[in-house]
Chain A
Amino acid sequence: MNVRSQVSMVFHLDKCIGCHTCSIACKNIWTDRKGTEYMWWNNVETKPGTGFPTAWEDQEKYNGGWKVEDGTLALRSQSRTKSVVNMFHHPNLPTLDDYYHPWTYDYKNLFDAPEGSDQPIARPISMVTGEPVAIESGPNWDDDLGGSPVYAEHDRNLEGLSEEQRQQLFAVERLVFFYFPRICNHCLNPACVAACPSGALYKRGEDGIVLVDQTRCRAWRACIAACPYKKVYFNWSTGKSEKCILCFPRLETGQAPACFHSCVGRIRYLGVLLYDADRLEEAASRPDDELVEAQRSLILDPFDPQVIAAAAANGVHDSVIESAQRSPVYQFVKVWKVALPPHIEYRTMPMLFYVPPMAPVMANRGQGVVDSVSDDLFHDIEAARVPLQFLGNLFGAGHDAKVRYALRKQKAVRWHRRAETVGDVDRATADRMLREADCTAEEAEAIYRLTSLCTFEERFVIPPMHREEALQMLEEPMEHKQAAGFGFIKAPRRGV
């Protein structure tokens, strides 16, 4: 057993507002510079939709992530034998059209326009060239579109839906959308790291955060091609790749990452998971339908004395083990099994998990009027507007069993709380719902509390980072205290 600690995340999609506060919290701090205009380390997508960059889930086109070749894992983006030959050629990289052309407006004209015969305006202009541009795409172009024939219809996750199901998604009876916020998944098996010819990417030993070293990066951009989530971006100004850093300067000071802190829907959770790195390759090589379970099996019980001993032996700090024991992520992912990894079939073992969303009941149109299809107080998940297959494609490698389980449990918690707080549902019905959802009343209470009543401290259990120990490898912490901040800031330079 090779026990490691990983700062991991849960996004509760049922609660997501789609407000994008997270995106801007991140942008304000990290990607508001020249060269980063188009970068959205955190973005929020509307599903069904094609996302950002457009159609990133289309691995036929982008060849991101891993495949199993001759029983072993291999990057889809580069053949191991040909990687050197192909070093300068990346047919799989997204182009500017797949992102967007960043723009601003000629605001100054509103102040400076001389008196004329008509009202002056600020025209859209390119942030790159300063010339007028026509705005044809953006980082959130299909926001709230739902049934759009241009975008939603091309969502890869509609695969496997019947033609009728697809058609109905564009009719009022079944129409639906929900939000899908995304950051770097800080994967256990990160394709970006594996792909880098310069060794500039690494996964931090102490917390699993995946970083691009801004001094070692040589602009090969292999990481961008390899990441199936397209969460590494190329800074055209510095010539370095950049990506979500999980706000490590904030984590190191005991603060939640900016996008977590700012999540006004309170959908985000963060905490440590302990996992067994020895079994990683084997787990990541399993057949698609076993992957969710395989990943879950890597996650270790932080209360198990053997795990604790192995973790300690591996240098995991006491306080981090304690933190893992209080981790909300552990509850959602491992104990309750209601949070699932996105596109586990990419086999990067993402460490960001999603609680799938409930959705309104379907309707039908008879005699010219619309009625709900179910008379239940809380309709069954089969009657919800989001097809289970769609969610299965997103969160179950094409299989909907895990999604079904997670949704059933959420619904059962609601029946349970209804019985407790109103009384129009009798206890027996609520108990039956719980039983069918593999849930006890105690577990339902715990799920309800962490979902609804959670405080900031319960959502984000940040492990002590022990910076003094990390620094000690570089210099005496006392010296650091005395000299911190003195010196000249040197920006990264292209090619160096």
Chain B
Amino acid sequence: MPKQTIRWIRDEDKASLRGWEEFYRNRWQHDKVVRSTHGVNCTGGCTWQIYVKDGIVTWEMQGLDYPPLQDGIPPYEPRGCQRGISYSWYLYSPIRVRYPYVRGALLDLWKAARGEHDDPVEAWASLVESPEKRQRWQVARGKGGFRRFDWETALEIIAASNLYTIRKYGPDRIAGFSPIPAMSMISYASGARYLQLIGGVSLSFYDWYCDLPPASPELWGEQTDVQESADWYNAKLLAVMGSNLNMTRTPDCHFAAEARHNGTKMWVFAPDFNQVAKYADEWMSINAGQDGAWWMAVNHVLLTEMHHEQQVPYFLDYAKRYTDAPLLVELVEEGGAWRPGRLLRANRLEAYGGVEHGDWQFLMWDATDGRPKMPVGSVGFRWSQEKGKWNLKLEDGLTGEAIDPALTFLEGGPVGGDGDVAVAFDDFGEGRTLTRHVPVRRVALAGGRTATVATVYDLMMAQYGVGRGLAGDYPASYDDETRPYTPAWSERYTGLGRDTLIRFAREWGETARLTNGKCTIIIGAGINHWYHNNLMYRAAMNALMFCGCVGVNGGGLAHYVGQEKLAPAEPWSAIAFGRDWHPAARLQNAPSWHYIHTDQWRYERDFTDYHTVPPSNGRPSLAKGHTADIQVKAVRNGWLPFYPQFSRNPLDVVAEAEAAGAATPEEIVSHTVEALRSRSLGFAVADPDAEENWPRVWFIWRGNALMSSAKGHEYFLHHYLGTHTNKLADEVAGDSVREIAWHEHAPSGKMDLVVDLNFRMDTSALYSDIVLPAATFYEKADLNSTDLHSFIHPLSAAVPPSWESKSDWQIFRAIARKLSELAPRHFPEPVKDMVAVPLQHDTEAEIAQPVLRDWFAGEVEPVPGKTMPALKVVTRDYRNIYRQFISFGPLVRSGGLGAHGTRYGVEDVYDEAVRVGPRQQWDGQAYPSLHDDEHVCNAILQFASVTNGELAYRSYRRMEERVGLPLAHLAEKSRSVRTDYKGIQTRPFRFVNSPMWSGLVDEGRPYSPFTYNVECLVPWRTLTGRQHFYLDHEGYIDFGEHLPTYKPKPQPKDYADLRVSREEGPTLTLNYLTPHGKWHIHSTYGDTNRMMTLSRGIEPLWLSDKDAAEIGIDDNDWVEVHNDHGVVVTRAVVSARIPRGVCIQYHSPERTLGVPKSPLRGHRRAGGHNSLTRTRLKPNLMVGGYGQFTFHFNYWGPTGANRDTHVLVRKLPALVW
């Protein structure tokens, strides 16, 4: 017994007085613990333990049992943030959608119509064909009046509207939006599968969110491929920009924090002193949106000191083998000046005149033999008949000779050259053209002509302003402010000193030199949401490429915004996009779709108003006119998809062809091509406001399509929904557009029906016609994976779906069943559908269009899949949609599976699945079952290469044939690995090596992208097979983005945010930033009592104390924030951590919670953050059919940029609820 201590401390050890402690022990007791995670768009992918007590979910705690990675890397435990741990609040909260709801106005009309029409389809027709009735529920959208109703009626309205729309306008007028499949991939697949089986449209998300970094496909031919967060720990220099790790990478942040204690230097670039700045060794208070200028100058220093003055062997060797630096660019003379043109094609030389795909083969100068040679590994070899030469060996593709690539033709360099010529370079910052001399060689072409060529490397030296003794407008020194891209030049844009920049560049280069590339850039939406994001990224990526940092552990570009790697992609995409039943899917890039259909294009003039492009000097150029016109051209030429496809029902298009005598699919396609050529059939994109071209039915699930992601929310309300709107902007495009049809009056209320699946009443739900109660993340079986780590997690039903909710899979299955039930009356037989799809990345269409030629202008023949979209005839059986939905279809067995250009056979796995079951049998055939959510989980785990080692092995074997180098050894050790749903419920499962991913993960090695390419010499999926410094697409040359460059930010006056809005009272004009926030994942969690309590009870507007003082705003005052697009009313937070000139409203609040009315808009309810935005698309991102510039869903195409927005801020004169 311990001695008694200080007298007033009662050291309580009397047993009788300790019995009350049961009070707290009882609370801790629970009945069951179940593993699940959060299917929310955060990229976290954390494993959670859900606690159930008395049949009720009471709380959640993080799972800790991640298998460890290799020695010397901190463990992953725990993962899970303040938001995730709040999720259980939702299950029984008052914002939970417990039952189906419908807009009362619609229900009343429906009941009346059903009284008159026995057939629900005819009942629906009677409503939507009456403008008055249709408008009745449209104007009520978002204005209350919901009624609880029954599932049966809900399914009937939805199925009837779908069948009606298919019959009347075509299935491509039915669209669905659901973001980021990886977070709950079965739930995503549910609606996508339903839509693709009926011929509907899936809208993309990654590009629409502006989270896709176009520079990644531009330079690497890859959507995004990034290191798992554990690999940050391997970096010895971390540069963090536009990414607020604490806030948005909460479960990963510790790797960065811990790396510092292992001697890693950390630099943070952010205009505000943000949360991650606390970790920085150096916080760089960079001016918002000027990160590109910083990196351009860093590259200037790196090239000067580490490539020119000192030549680091590792850097040079890397540039030669893994980048396009040694490739030859033809210089063209134009108006007395030379300009960099296209990469010189091998077939222009006599020696390579007859090579296969000679337009797609490129040249290096061999330093040993003193002549150009054609390296293997280009896209030409990827798609050649001859296999085995798509690799990165430095070897001639024709002769097999070794190549010793020359990087430079500089006089006095290793190979010398034929002197130098004066080359024109655009300086967009100053709006001028500079002349800089570049060393060249003359290369004899077939037919006796000569080409003047420079290496990409020498062009980089010139563009970055490294004079190397050459004549021209090169800067004299680092202190030369008058020439781009010196440290002194960067100061005026970044606000940061040249000395610090030089020191940064030296630390960067030196760290990379000593560690063979262990410099990592962690980057995100803070950069990627700017209009010129691709240029900012590209400059930073060049710094990685110059120093050999890509494809090594501890190095590279760590971009994490939104994409969440869906690791078991092969079977998943087959299921999600109905590829097991149909060979073609309608996958739409959402930026183009929303830009056109919400009519945002009508509210701007030529893009050159705000986008600086080179002078065209009279020659034809893609870089002029209106964005919508380029969009139309992009669809016609097969660069981008667009749905609806045609001005007529695609079912009728086939029927018409057949009526005209076309019998085979080829004849039907030919007939359609003729109709397009003769203009008797139009592209819907060319006349989107014509009634027959509107989208009609919209499904939204797993996302907040009408608020969080609706850039131009108020335009959505007007043109899609036909309800109230707070926009003021005027429609000004009439005089600007040439290709797209202009209607004097734009339609309001294009959508007949909006259906939302939701577990909470968010803004999208509030504005939808039908709200279906969805199961939460703790009430269903699903799968989750991410790029932040290398494990796959289950979602599990800790409790069954509460009240009347159902899982997304169950809901779409029910809709499919109802549609099949109603179909026979309208589609008694299978029908044929004409599906138009754009030229596709990772197919031979990558070599479809060597030059820009428009068939529509008669410059070339219309050839489907080559000069125009591919046209495919697909047979749909609407009576059997339900059966197809629940059966894993036969095309998987016959065609195998693959992704990213890989493929493997699965006949045996398929047959085993049928044999073992569960299976579906109908019409005399048996299929693996996809009936239950768990069946789908198991099908994916069974058929994916990352979770079934045998399939990875097969896929490597197949890849070996194309590459010509050994690869299958990468899967040898994991060949027998398999898992299933119960397996991953037991413990997180780490993926095995697979050729569809570019990182190697065996033996606990952290995933770092492109290590497969670097170590196994597998090419990047680009034009040249290498990482690109230079982008020689004609459109890129027109836009001046063939070279890495700096373009100024669009100015508020040119960007047309403030054309109509007026200052009323003391007002500030500020750049409006909407980075990801701390108390929500987009809008999820932001409406919970937990998160609201820990913040300010509202998503406030952050202002600098000095700006606030100027217009008399105190902390927590109400402010009114407005521009031509709409208005926000919220409270202010005043802090010196915010720089002057910008304001921040963290993405993304709901407009349903605590939002007052707006005096400036006649006391209508103010909006959400996207009320102040609209999107603008960057036209050069629309090109296609050319190497990495070839469409892939969520992968290539323009992004929904919105960050350059400006707003007016004033104190709210009066608070009105």
Contacts and interface: CB of A to CB of B under 8 A. Distances in A.
- The CB with the most chain A CB atoms within 10 A, among B9, B18, B265, B1092, is that of B9
Contact of A415 (B105, B233, B263, B285): B263
B1094 A20 contact: yes
Interface in B249-264: 250-251, 253-254, 257-263
A124 B1098 CA distance: 9
Contact of B8 (A132, A144, A193): A193
Given A15-B254, A15-B258, A423-B514, A314 B80 contact: no
A280 interface: yes
B143 A117 contact: yes
A422 B514 contact: yes
B67 to A, nearest CB: 12
A344 B285 CA distance: 36
Contacts of A178: 278
A131 interface: no
A24 B87 CA distance: 10
A455 B277 CA distance: 26
Given A115-B104, A199-B10, A453-B74, A489 B1136 contact: no
Interface string B757-796: 0000100001000000000000000000000000000000
Contact of A371 (B12, B18, B499): B499
Interface in B112-156: 140, 142-146
* Secondary structure dominating the interface of A: loop
A411 B283 CA distance: 17
A172 B1104 CA distance: 11
A215 B18 CA distance: 10
**Size bin of chain A's contact surface:** 35 or more
Contact of B1137 (A177, A366, A423): A177
Contacts of B1094: 20, 23-24, 138-140, 143
Contacts, number: 384
Contact of B281 (A136, A265, A360, A371): A360
A8 interface: no
B254 A266 contact: yes
A189 B503 CA distance: 51
A4 interface: yes
B72 to A, nearest CB: 7
A264 B254 contact: yes
A146 interface: yes
A343 interface: no
A195 B774 CA distance: 52
Contacts of A447: 261
Interface stretch (A55-63, A203-211, A317-325): A203-211
A416 interface: yes
A79 interface: no
Nearest to B286: A370
Given A249-B25, A453-B72, A492-B23, A107 B94 contact: yes
A416 B1134 contact: no
A337 B1165 CA distance: 57
B273 A175 contact: yes
Interface string B202-238: 0000000000000000000000000000000100100
B262 A138 contact: no
Given A14-B257, A19-B246, A379-B281, A145 B1135 contact: yes
B314 interface: no
Contact of A360 (B21, B26, B28, B282): B282
A258 B3 CA distance: 32
Contact of A262 (B80, B146, B275): B80
A15 B257 contact: yes
A171 B245 CA distance: 23
Interface string A429-469: 00000000000000000011001111110000000000000
Contact of A452 (B11, B23, B74): B74
Contact of A102 (B61, B262, B1093): B1093
Name the residue in B78, B491, B1152, B1153 with the highest tally of chain A Cβ atoms < 10 Å from its Cβ: B78
Contacts of A354: none
A115 B136 CA distance: 12
Given A28-B88, A366-B497, A263 B78 contact: yes
A182 to B, nearest CB: 14
Interface stretch (A147-155, A300-308, A327-335): A147-155
B591 to A, nearest CB: 27
A122 B1153 contact: yes
Contacts of B241: none
A2 B27 contact: no
Interface in B1067-1097: 1078, 1087, 1089-1090, 1092-1097
Contacts of B246: 17-19
B1063 interface: no
Interface in A403-436: 410, 413-425
Interface string A96-122: 000000111101101111111111111
Given A138-B1095, A424-B510, A473-B15, A119 B142 contact: yes
Interface of A: 2, 4, 14-15, 17-21, 23-25, 27-30, 102-105, 107-108, 110-124, 132, 135-136, 138-141, 143-151, 170-172, 175-179, 189-190, 193-194, 199, 201-206, 211, 213-216, 245, 247-250, 252, 258, 261-266, 277-278, 280-281, 314-315, 357-361, 363, 366-372, 375, 377-379, 410, 413-425, 447-448, 451-456, 470, 473-474, 485, 489, 492
24 contacts: A28-B59, A111-B101, A111-B146, A116-B143, A122-B1153, A135-B1096, A138-B1096, A139-B1094, A141-B1096, A143-B1095, A144-B275, A148-B1115, A189-B9, A190-B9, A202-B10, A205-B2, A265-B257, A280-B6, A360-B282, A372-B282, A422-B236, A422-B511, A453-B258, A456-B77
Given A24-B82, A113-B144, A263-B78, 14 more contacts: A14-B257, A20-B82, A110-B1152, A138-B1096, A175-B1137, A202-B9, A205-B2, A216-B20, A261-B64, A262-B78, A361-B282, A370-B500, A375-B503, A470-B15
Interface of B: 1-3, 5-6, 8-13, 15-21, 23-29, 58-62, 64, 68, 72-75, 77-82, 85-86, 88, 93-95, 101, 104-105, 140, 142-146, 233, 236, 245-246, 250-251, 253-254, 257-263, 265, 268, 273, 275, 277-278, 280-285, 491, 494-500, 503, 507, 510-511, 514-515, 724, 761, 766, 1078, 1087, 1089-1090, 1092-1098, 1105, 1114-1116, 1133-1137, 1139, 1151-1155, 1157, 1164-1165, 1217
The 9 A-B pairs of least Cβ separation, nearest first, read A115-B145, A147-B1136, A473-B15, A202-B12, A418-B263, A417-B263, A371-B497, A113-B144, A135-B1097
